[in-house]
Amino acid sequence: MAGFSQLYEKYAGQVYRFLLALSCDRSLSEELTQETFYQAFLHADKFENRCSVSTWLCQIGKNAYFREMKRQKRTVPIQEAGERQDGALKDPEEAFLEKERVQSLRRQLLNLPEPYRTVIAMRVYSGTDYKELARLFGKSESWARVTYFRAKERLTVLIEREDRG
Q: What is the mean pLDDT of residues 113-138?
A: 86
DSSP letter, residue 86: T
The most confident of 19-33, 76-90, 141-155, by mean pLDDT: 141-155
Tens digits of residue pLDDT in 5-14: 898 999 999 9
- Backbone CA torsion sign across 101, 102, 107, 112: positive
Q: How many separate domains does the chain show?
A: 1
- Domain, as residue range, for 157: 2-164
Compute the chain's Rg from CA coordinates: 17
Query: What is the share, in percent, of the chain residues with pLDDT greater than 90?
Result: 29
pLDDT in tens, 15-65: 998 888 888 788 999 999 999 999 999 988 888 887 888 888 988 998 898
